[in-house]
């Protein structure tokens, strides 16, 4: 089964804790992306990576960190510095210059 | 910077009817890609259709077609024979075709909620 997996589907954390969201793809895509979606908003880009061991900040990178140690994996850490972490997080991947395909998303709730 | 605007936050259509979703964008680039994505209640983002700016022919995909007006920077989506399963949020998105740092990023509109009435 080819595709993008995100786990878990729902995640609950206490304020002040760091949390890592998983994103894995077996499509052999070079580029991977993390987006945040809030109610009534479009998707906003957090970080993206075009190649292993390299990544760039998107429009709202503050309070987040990523790594890209393997082509298949692009985990996102939501740190305690992120002021409003409760949101829906979407991971995507694409070939270089190709269409972006999305994972099913993770709903993070921080209380 | 490029921007994408979806001015209608909500629309409704009767089953089997046709509906058109509007999208405008702003860019100074001559070559780019435009997309419509659908997000049903499951929240999975699904690609509906893609248009390449250098192609004058409007893209079609079964019941979905676009009206791409490059000079007007308009990219509307027409859904024919609407079905209950078409009910979803629809997002218009832009991506530059130029290979440079940041050109691979999608720029999204805020989305539009489509309701299909039986």
Pairwise CB contact (< 8 Å): A41 & B91: no
Could you report the per-residue pLDDT of B43-95, keeping only the tens digit for each?
999 999 999 999 889 999 999 999 999 999 999 999 999 999 999 999 999 99
Instruction: Report how far residue A47's alpha carbon sits from residue A61's, in angstroms, rounded to the nearest whole number.
Output: 6
Of the candidates B9, B104, B110, the beta carbon closest to that of A50 is on: B104
Task: Scan residues 25-44 of A and list those with Cβ closer than 8 Å to B.
Answer: 31, 33, 40-44
Kindly report the nearest CA distance between residue A18 and chain B, in angstroms: 24
Task: Kindly state the tokens that stand for A59.
Answer: 């429009």
Q: Give me the pLDDT at residue B100, please.
A: 65
Q: Give me the pLDDT at residue A96, please.
A: 74
Let me know: does B96 contact B32? Beta carbons within 8 Å: yes
Hey, is the C-beta of A48 within 8 angstroms of any chain B C-beta? yes
CB-neighbour burial class of residue A15 (10 A; exposed 0-12, middle 13-18, buried 19+)? exposed
Instruction: Report how far residue A45's alpha carbon sits from residue A33's, in angstroms, rounded to the nearest whole number.
Output: 7
Q: Give me the pLDDT at residue A81, please.
A: 87
Let me know: does B37 contact B90? Beta carbons within 8 Å: yes
Whether the per-residue pLDDT at A99 is higher than 90: the answer is no
Instruction: Compute how many other C-beta atoms are within 10 angstroms of the C-beta atom of residue B61.
Output: 12
Instruction: Report how far residue B93's alpha carbon sits from residue A5's, in angstroms, rounded to the nearest whole number.
Output: 22
Task: Kindly state the tokens that stand for A18.
Answer: 């760091």
Whether the per-residue pLDDT at A98 is higher than 70: the answer is yes
Could you report the per-residue pLDDT of A29-75, keeping only the tens digit for each?
999 999 999 987 789 999 999 899 999 999 999 999 999 999 999 99
Residue among B45, B41, B83, B44 nearest B63 (CA): B83
Task: Kindly state the tokens that stand for B39.
Answer: 């997000």
Cross-strand bridge partners of residue B4: B25
Kindly report the nearest CA distance between residue A82 and chain B, in angstroms: 22
Q: Give me the pLDDT at residue A2, please.
A: 65
Cβ-based neighbours of A72, under 8 Å, separated by 6 or more: A24, A25, A26
Question: Torsions phi, psi of A49, nearest 5?
Answer: -140, 130
Task: Kindly state the tokens that stand for B19.
Answer: 């509906």
Pairwise CB contact (< 8 Å): A99 & B109: no
Mean pLDDT, rounded, for B92-107: 78
Could you report the per-residue pLDDT of A41-53, keeping only the tens digit for each?
789 999 999 899 9
Pairwise CB contact (< 8 Å): A100 & B97: no
Let me know: does A59 contact A36? Beta carbons within 8 Å: no
Average pLDDT, chain B: 92
Res. B99 pLDDT band, cuts 50 70 90: low
Q: How many CA atoms lie within 13 A of B15 on its CB side?
A: 5
Kindly report the nearest CA distance between residue A71 and chain B, in angstroms: 17
Task: Kindly state the tokens that stand for A15.
Answer: 């304020």
DSSP A6-74: EE-SEEEE-TT--EEEEEEE-S--SEEEEEEE-TT--EEEEEEEEETTEEEE-TT-TTEEE--SBTTB-
Task: Kindly state the tokens that stand for A20.
Answer: 């890592």
Hey, is the C-beta of A99 within 8 angstroms of any chain B C-beta? yes
Instruction: Report how far residue B115's alpha carbon sits from residue B36's, in angstroms, rounded to the nearest whole number.
Output: 17
Pairwise CB contact (< 8 Å): B91 & A42: yes
């Amino acid at each position: 089964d080819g595709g993008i997996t995100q786990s878990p589907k729902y995640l609950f954390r206490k304020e002040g804790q760091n949390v890592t969201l998983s994103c894995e793809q077996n499509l052999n895509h070079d580029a991977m992306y993390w987006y945040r979606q809030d109610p009534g908003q479009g998707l906003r880009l957090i970080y993206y990576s075009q190649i292993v061991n390299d990544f760039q900040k998107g429009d709202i990178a503050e309070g987040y960190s990523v790594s890209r140690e393997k082509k298949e994996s692009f985990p996102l850490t939501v740190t305690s510095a992120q002021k409003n972490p409760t949101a829906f997080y979407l991971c995507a991947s694409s070939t270089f210059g190709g269409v972006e395909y999305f994972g099913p998303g993770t709903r993070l709730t921080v209380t | 910077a490029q921007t994408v605007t979806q001015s209608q936050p909500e629309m409704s259509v009767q089953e089997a009817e046709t509906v058109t979703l509007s999208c405008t964008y702003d860019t100074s680039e001559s070559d780019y890609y435009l997309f419509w994505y659908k997000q049903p209640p499951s929240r999975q983002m699904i690609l509906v259709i893609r248009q390449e700016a250098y192609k004058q022919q409007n893209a079609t995909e079964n019941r979905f077609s676009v009206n791409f007006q490059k000079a007007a920077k308009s990219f509307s989506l027409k859904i024919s024979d609407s079905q209950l399963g078409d009910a979803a949020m629809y997002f218009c998105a832009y991506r530059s075709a130029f290979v440079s740092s940041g050109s691979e990023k999608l720029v999204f509109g805020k989305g539009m909620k489509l309701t299909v009435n039986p």
